[in-house]
Structure 1
Amino acid sequence: MATEVRVGCAGWSIPGRYRTAFESDGSALERYASRLSAAEINSSFYRAHQPATYARWAEAVPAHFRFTVKIPRAISHELRLRGTGALLDRFLDESGHLGDRLGGLLLQLPPSLAFDARVASTFFAMLRRHTAVPVACEPRHAGWFDEAAEALMDRYGIARVAADPPRMDAGARPAGARCWRYWRWHGSPRTYYSDYDEQALHRLAAEVRVASTEGHPSWVIFDNTAHGFATANALRLQALLEPAHA
């Protein structure tokens, strides 16, 4: 039986040329959520948000809608997963005010952060002591793409992101824990800018459909927002994943 499939964007701004595809009333988030079922909150990577802000976002979307929240760069890039307890507690408390609209967390690692089994295990164990929500990790150093790293992520229930463009071939496929399959498409060949053509979207739809029918909740987030193509790509992929196109 097919499982949950969600398609969305990094953020919820709607470029002017696509506004007619969404409801005309309400805030940007309310209009975005009228058509798409997920969104990444990327601003949490750069700055903290008040609990009331998360609560307000949760109230603005339908009951079926879900957010992914990006773990702060202070944890991933500055402290590099070491000594993060206090910051992690604060972040989880704040983002927890999304309530049942919290679909998961995203941990994006810097390209310079090599895989260290002890550091990774300590961080993931601490994370799992504090939350059971799905977690997707997007590593960008080659050391994270071997069997040892994949096994460790699987042990702690951490999914590895399937990224486009990938840093290496293995990075194009989802891995780690099978509790979540998570694609992040950033735009290719020009990251954050490039549009995806029909062939690429059909290929992605086929991959997502297979993962879903194998029982893996599957999310796709488009991050090619610089020229607004994320919105069009998300709407098109969602259409391709509808039963009539299966």
Structure 2
Amino acid sequence: MGHILIGTCSWTDKALVGSGWYPPGRRDPEGRLRHYAGQFPVVEADSTYYALPSARNSRLWAERTPPGFRFDVKAFSLLTGHPTRPAALPADLRDRATGDPGLLDEVWHRFSEALRPLRQADRLGTLLFQFPPWFAPGARAEAVLHRTRKRATDWPMAVEFRHPDWWRDPHRERTTALLRDLDAAAVAVDMAQGLPTSIPPTTPVTSRDLAVVRFHGRSAAWGSGTKEDRFRHAYAEEELREWRPRLCALAERVAHLHVLFNNCCADAAVRAAESMKRLLAPATHPRDTTG
């Protein structure tokens, strides 16, 4: 069985910082990350979606976490076709058109170079490319995915789709084959079902090395309302328990499974992660039978 790492989709979210989960004396940037890394073995860095990371931060993240800890790093918004404010770009790139392929290449170069210290320290789990809800299956989208993989050659890559048709018939098999061909891990999600934008809770395996499951919560306000409305959900144990056999089955097929909670209101994500750790304890700590 592969290694199952459980964590959350941020350690710096304002709601989490304000929830009281971090103890006194551990609420500065260094203290927060060291405390988090003492509780969980993986985290998603989502700040890199909003602004390009820096090599300095990559080095600090590596220094403040123990061997074996992993960061799943969310790709910068421009790299996945999301609207990007000019102010989020480096000053010398702000006069470039956002559709300019040369701009995308330069942004990727700076993004990857900033993360290189994290990778060299063996702290990088994967790069998460989360595509927007309007990124629908088709030849144009597949071409974007191939260009993205070409830029990210030799980097670990995971893909999350927000358009539900990727994982519905008749596209599901083609989507699986496409990601397998790209050597990209498919990201499975848990979210409210029955909404027009609901992603089916399928668990495809497209990489032997990694599978990722992100728990977004089950708010009926997904796709509308404020961020708090979209992600406000406290997972009940029975909701987590229904995922246990699926997660164990995934772990049997990959070397590493990352389980990340994105219901980031107050401390709901860390509490759900703690509960899932308990439910999966036998699987995350398999008995040594080597004698």
Q: Give TM-score, length-normalised by structure 1.
A: 0.86
Instruction: State yes or no: 1:177 paired with 2:206.
Output: yes
In 2, the alpha carbon distance for the partners of 1:73 and 1:128 equals 18
Aligned residue number for residue 144 of structure 1: 166
* Aligned-pair CA distance for 1:225: 0.9
Match of 1:7 in 2: 6
Q: Which is further off, 146-155 or 71-80?
A: 71-80
Spell out, residue by residue over 1:97-131, the C-alpha distance to the aligned partner (whole angstroms, 9 max, x if none). Answer: 21210010111111111223355345435535644
**Mapping 1:37-52, distance limit 5 Å:** 37-52=41-56
Does the Cα contact within 8 Å between 1:3 and 1:215 map onto a contact in 2?
Answer: yes
AA aligned to 1:105 is L
Q: CA, structure 1 residues 65+158, in 2 after alignment: closer, same or farther (shift >3 Å)?
A: same
Q: How does 1:23-38 map to 2 (within 5 A)?
A: 27-38=31-42
Paired residues of 2:108 and 2:151 also in contact (CA < 8 A): no
Write the distance in 2 (CA, Å) between the matches of 1:56 and 1:185. 27
Q: Partner of 1:127: helix, strand, or coil?
A: helix
Does the 8 Å contact 1:157/1:176 carry over to 2? no
Among 187, 209, 214, the alignment partner of 2:217 is 187
1:94 to 101, 114, 121: 114
* Matched residue type, 1:92: S
Per the TM alignment, residue 221 of structure 1 is displaced from its structure 2 partner at its CA by: 0.6
CA distance in 1, matches of 2:179, 2:99: 14
Q: Matched residue of 1:153: which SS?
A: helix
Q: Which residue matches 1:127?
A: 149
Are the counterparts in 2 of residues 106 and 138 from structure 1 also a CA contact under 8 Å? Answer: yes
| CA contact 1:159–1:174 (8 Å) conserved in 2 | no
CA distance in 1, matches of 2:78, 2:152: 18
Q: 1:104-163, CA deviations, whole angstroms, 9 ceiling, x for partnerless residues?
A: 011111111122335534543553564433321111224423122221111011122111
Counterpart of 1:117, as a letter, is A
Measured after TM superposition, the shift of residue 215 of structure 1 is 3.6
- 1:220 is aligned to 2:259: yes
Q: Give 5+ residue unaligned stretches, structure 2.
A: 85-97, 221-229, 287-291
Question: What code does the residue aligned with 2:211 have?
Answer: R
| Structure having the higher Rg | 2
Q: Compute the displacement of 1:237 (Å).
A: 0.5
Counterpart-to-counterpart distance in 2, 1:232 and 1:126: 35
CA root-mean-square deviation: 2.8
Structure 1 residues without counterparts, runs of 5 or longer = none
2:255 and 2:247 mapped to 1: Cα distance?
A: 9
**Corresponding pairs, count:** 242
